[in-house]
Amino acid sequence: MTAVATACPPAVRQGGGPVPVVSEGPALLAGIAQGPGLAAHLNRLGPAPRPSLGALVDMARDVDLRGRGGAGFPFATKLSAAARRRAVVVVNASEGEPGSHKDAALISCAPHVVLDGAAAVARALRTQEVHIVVSSEHPSLRRVVEKALRERVTAGECLDLRLHDAAPRFVAGQAQAVLQLLAGRENLPVTAWQPEAVSGHRGRPTLLSNAETFAQIGHLVRVGSAGYAAHGTAGEPGTTLVTLRGDGWAPEVREVAHGTPLADLLDEAETSRPLLLGGYHGTWLRPAQLRGMTVSRSAIAAAGATLGAGVMLPLAQGRCPLVRTAELVEYLAGQSARRCGPCLNGLPAMAEAVRALVHGEGSVRRVEELCGLVVRRGACAHPDGTARLVASMMQRFPAEVQAHSVGTCRRGREVSG
């Protein structure tokens, strides 16, 4: 199952940790061992159909395709909203989350699946203008995309394809920050008064989606709704990309069908420790909640979490989830774009409050108060995501929080059950 695609060395982050292993997958990552070139891609799959807007909306609705950047917004709704004059298509592969590598893996191993999707969406919206945003942390990724674009132009693609480099910052991939980058301004979030599908790039209707979302479209237009449903469950057709241990040891990118047991992705030792699901803005789950859990939006929602962009971070052996959370909040506070008062002040205060709590010098009330003070009070959802992480720590580990707050936590004791 874990056939390593040797023909596809995934893009490596500058100064980054271990290179993630990318495995061949059932749909988007099928055939990656043959390399990322256009010839191999076309040989295997033939040219991608380019359906009309109505047909594409119907297909996306049939399979309930959701955005894969984290928010999970229904793609058909977004596509319909953007279907007006002078639309723009933006493929967001900037992936600022340190625990996520799936977009980098996808775009370095299967760039033409992503670009097929972008071309289909552009055609449906009757536009030629397609922007692709990659992280400047991945110089090798940029080269892969440049090569893929050249191949398509040579093959007669008549799209106006433009490549942009996002800043290596956690919030650089946020939709409004990406629109700022496209407009030649600093790559930071600004206040959105309207959804970007209504008023996005230079005020034009803009279909901005995550790279995996476009790849899902690239696959969907080829196989149709019925073919798409060959994988996944009746309620959640298709596959999804996940990054395992993305910020730690042995990082891995996998494409799995919805409904796949978590136990197929993580080993027993990993599922018997707490798991941070959805990345640094995500939610902690206790080992007992992981038992029988599958990769499915509904199962994960039932456990009070979301899959987000598919980031799964099992806690390293012997580590305390509270200490880990304190480290993450400190990192996140440092990633604030430092422009919105409540985020600029609130996140460092929260980092300090969580650190104090973990060291038996703080109070639960102060942490809760700060969570309340930052939520929905910034140009982007960075404070909300940080508060979500902290709230999940308080909720999932109440006994440990209590023990830490009164200074009786025995260092090294692990959370089980």
Partner 1 sequence: MSEHQLRVDWPACKGHGLCAELLPEVISLDEWGYPIVHEPVKGEVLAMARRAVKACPTLALRLTLPA
**Residues contributing to the site for partner 1 (CB under 8 A):** 188-191, 193, 337, 339-343, 345-346, 373, 377-379
**Regarding beta strands 252-257 and 239-244, do their DSSP bridges make them parallel or antiparallel, or are they unpaired?**
antiparallel
Quick note: the x/- pattern for ligand SF4 over 299-338, rule CB under 6 A, is ---------------------xxxx---------------
Contact 268, 335 (CB under 8 A): no
Cβ-based nearer residue to partner 1, 189 or 278 = 189
403 binds, among partner 1, ligand SF4, none (CB under 5 to 8 A by kind): ligand SF4
State the CB neighbour count (10 A cutoff) for residue 361. Answer: 12
Q: H helices within 204-320, ranges in order?
A: 211-228, 268-271, 287-290, 297-302
Cβ-based nearer residue to partner 1, 128 or 345 = 345
Q: How far apart are CA 78 and CA 179, in angstroms?
A: 16
**Regarding beta strands 21-22 and 252-257, do their DSSP bridges make them parallel or antiparallel, or are they unpaired?**
parallel
Q: Least distance in Å: CB of 203 to partner 1?
A: 17
410 binds, among ligand SF4, partner 1, none (CB under 5 to 8 A by kind): ligand SF4
Does residue 184 bind ligand SF4 (CB under 6 A)?
no
DSSP line for 2-57? --B-TT------TT-SSPPEEB--SSTTTTGGG-S-HHHHHHHH-PPP---HHHHH
Q: Least distance in Å: CB of 89 to partner 1?
A: 23
Cβ-based nearer residue to partner 1, 63 or 188 = 188
413 binds, among partner 1, ligand SF4, none (CB under 5 to 8 A by kind): ligand SF4
Does residue 403 bind ligand SF4 (CB under 6 A)?
yes
Q: Least distance in Å: CB of 408 to ligand SF4?
A: 9
Contact 243, 279 (CB under 8 A): no
Q: Which of 372, 319, 334, 328 is nearest to 354 (CA)?
A: 328
Which residues contribute to the site for ligand SF4 (CB under 6 A)?
320-323, 400, 403-404, 409-415
